Amino acid sequence: MDVPNGHVLQVCQSLYGLKQAARDWYDLCSSALREMGFEPLVSEPCVFRNKKTGVLVGLYVDDMVIAARTVQEVQRFKTEFGKRFKIKDLGELSRVLGIQIKRDRTARTMYLDQSAHIEKLLREFGMATKGKGSASVPLNTQVDLWKMAGENELTSKGRQIYQRQIGSVMYLMVYTRPDIAFATSRLAQFMTCPTKRHSGAMKTLLKYLRTTQDLKIKYSPHGQSATRCIGFTDSDFAGDKSDRKSTSGMVFMLGGGPVAWRSRKQTAVATSTTEAEYVAAAMAAKHAKWISQFLKDLGYSRYVDGADGTAPIRLSLDNKGALDLVKQPQINDRSKHIDVAFHFIKDLWVRKVIDCVYIPTREMVADALTKPLPKARLTELRVKMGLSARGSDI
């Protein structure tokens, strides 16, 4: 089409590929779902719930996951929604967003894994051959990653490969692999200026993924987190030698497996282990608040409330000083400098939104998200986190 100079064409409707397209599609789809009796959750607007039927719909761009108590309710929704949009029915959920889902209804277990994605990224970066070596841990405990003065950085091509590797591994870490959360977070801090040491550490991580390719998240009705959401929070005091900042780690368990986790470097320098643990706990408390609200919006408040509706979500710490700081109302000389933002956890504890308890360090599941660990300890914590190889010895 010829357009005269000084004129432009006005788009009359959203086109696929425009940055506004995803938002426009969400508005259109949510409008149709509202007409069908669904409402988006306040805590997560991409999840819709029909309070009358109990049907849940998860929306991710043009992918949709439907959950209901009976197959008939699922089919009824498909029929009704199919009258409004042209849809492709893929049947019972077995794969979504690259995550493979396997269910054993007899044993009442479910497994999530991304072994296919691991295979793809290993081939892409030339690490698929088992002769390339193996690794029993994602990050060697003897390797210092902080950048040394005068150390040569990778070339532009090497830096691009490193950044692609970080992106591919991060996709795994976010969805199904909490055991690589710390290693991924640590290596991602050097994306703009990686050196050969960082590239070598990344290869170790890829070897670890190849060694543990069959590792899966297992959910079952057994264990202490089967009927109640339990959080674990930990920190590694002044673990970064370049700026002496600490690392916060957290993991929340429900149904025998992890449902949320994070490993993140703290924004300020903590001056004691108590402060580092307190800051980590405050960050975890914010996430606990969201999980609590999300489960209530879904209609599953029983996982965060007791029979009388008063028992809050449990958050476990392995530092008694940090626990005292949460439960004691006064601020002393050693804690008055802590930013007011981190005292949010005090308010949640007072209002019984969370219940902070002490556990021994040996039982701290989040320990794997704060520092490199030897094989024996990492393997122990993987089991506690609900990661299973379904019989494989890795």
Per residue in 336-386, pLDDT (tens digit) is 556 666 778 888 888 888 899 999 999 999 999 999 999 999 999 999 999
Q: All domains of the chain, ordered by start, with CATH?
A: 22-93 (no CATH), 113-211 (no CATH), 224-388 (3.30.420.10)
Contact 356, 315 (CB under 8 A): yes
pLDDT above 90 coverage of the chain, percent: 62
Confidence grade of residue 32 (pLDDT, cut at 50, 70, 90): very high
pLDDT band at 224 (very low <50, low <70, confident <90, very high): confident
Distance CA 58, CA 40 (A): 10
> Model confidence at 325, in pLDDT bands (50, 70, 90)?
confident
Could you give the CA distance from residue 386 to residue 138 in angstroms, rounded to a whole number?
18
Given this model, what pLDDT does residue 206 score? Answer: 95
Query: Whose CA is closest to 316, among 356, 260, 345, 262?
Result: 356
Q: What type of residue is 280?
A: A
Measured CA to CA in angstroms, residue 348 lies from 66, 281, 292, 302, 332 at distances of 33, 11, 12, 19, 20
pLDDT band at 131 (very low <50, low <70, confident <90, very high): low
Model-level pTM greater than 0.85? yes
Give me the mean pLDDT over the 282-295 stretch.
92
Task: Count Cβ atoms below 10 Å from residue 283 Cβ, excluding itself.
Answer: 22
Contact 235, 279 (CB under 8 A): yes
**pLDDT reported for residue 347:** 86
CB 55 within 8 A of CB 74: yes
* Mean pLDDT, the chain, integer: 88
pLDDT at 335: 60
Give pLDDT, residue 388. 85
Write out pLDDT tens, residues 158-195.
999 999 999 999 999 999 999 999 999 999 999 998 99
Average pLDDT for residues 308-315, to the nearest whole number?
70
End-to-end distance of the chain based on CA atoms, in angstroms?
Answer: 62
Tokens of 109: 């277990």
pLDDT at residue 336, as a whole number = 59
361, amino acid identity: T
In percent, how much of the chain has pLDDT > 70?
93
For residues 370 and 234, the answer to whether their CB atoms sit within 8 Å is yes
List the structure tokens of 148: 């040394």
Which tokens is 329 given?
């109302």
The pLDDT value given to residue 24: 87
Give the pLDDT confidence score for residue 394 in this predicted structure. Answer: 47
pLDDT band at 391 (very low <50, low <70, confident <90, very high): very low
Identify the pLDDT of residue 127. 87
Give per-residue pLDDT as tens, 75-120.
999 999 999 999 999 889 999 988 999 999 899 999 999 999 999 9
CA atoms within 13 A on the CB side of 131: 0
pLDDT value of position 23:
86
- Least-confidence region, from 28-42, 216-230, 334-348: 334-348
Query: Which pair of structure tokens corresponds to residue 197?
Result: 């040491």
Q: How far is CA 321 from the centre of its chain?
A: 28
Residue reference for tokens 């197959």: 71
Residue 265's region, left for phi above 0, alpha for psi from -120 to 50, else beta, is beta
Q: What is the mean pLDDT of residues 237-253?
A: 91
- Give the pLDDT mean for 202-213: 94
Kindly tell me if the per-residue pLDDT of 217 is higher than 90.
Answer: yes
Can you give the pLDDT at residue 174? 94
